[in-house]
Amino acid sequence: MVINGISVDQYHARQHKVTYGYPERDMSCEWPTGGPNPTFYRNLPGFETVGIEIIVEGSSHNEIRSSIRRLLNLFDAPYVNVSLDGGGNILGTLQNARSQEISINKWHKLTLSLRGIVYRRIVGYVKTSKRRTRRRNTTAVVSMSCSPAEMRSSVRRCWIPSCT
């Protein structure tokens, strides 16, 4: 797991479990006075709540608490870009964090609650093109990637205009 380009391995931590919530839907409507029907405006996808459990290991209680504090300091930015193990990315903010001691002086379970947009980075797609020869269709694989800044601007512009 990587948080804003920094691996959690530096803090003797590893991703344990991810729980995805359902995205909110923002649907605005009003019923004009004397009108026969209501007017519906937009049905935009909203933010999702994602729960992440992280196991933090250490040789002493103070070392584990120090690792947890340094790990939580990564979430001080207004938004974070979290790349999960097994694919998937989250662009969002930390809503809640709690720590639970599982084994005395061995490891703790850190439970994070993030609210944001879950997306997958585009690593490639197949484009079909037609040629003017006897062959029917040919395929070309094109690799694409986008930076977090491009992702934020596209999210702001296309998905959630109110998130400026």
- Cα 74 from chain centroid? 15
Phi-psi label, residue 88: left if phi above 0, alpha if psi -120 to 50, beta otherwise: left
115 DSSP β-pair partners: 49, 93
Over residues 56-67, the pLDDT tens digits come to: 999 888 899 999
CATH architecture assignment, domain 2-27+42-121: Beta Barrel (2.40)
**Residues paired with residue 30 on neighbouring β-strands, in sequence order:** 39
* Stretch 27-37: mean pLDDT: 79
pTM across the whole model: 0.63
With 80 as the cut, is the pLDDT of residue 43 above it?
Answer: no
Residue 55: predicted pLDDT: 94
Tell me which residue of 164, 26, 49 sits closest to 116, measured CA to CA: 49
Give the residue ranges of DSSP H helices in 19-103.
61-73
Over the stretch 98-131, which tens digit does the pLDDT of each residue have? Answer: 999 887 778 899 999 999 988 875 554 444 444 4
- pLDDT confidence of residue 34: 82
Is the pLDDT score of 47 beyond 90? no
Q: Rounded to the nearest 5°, which phi and psi values hold at 91?
A: -115, 105
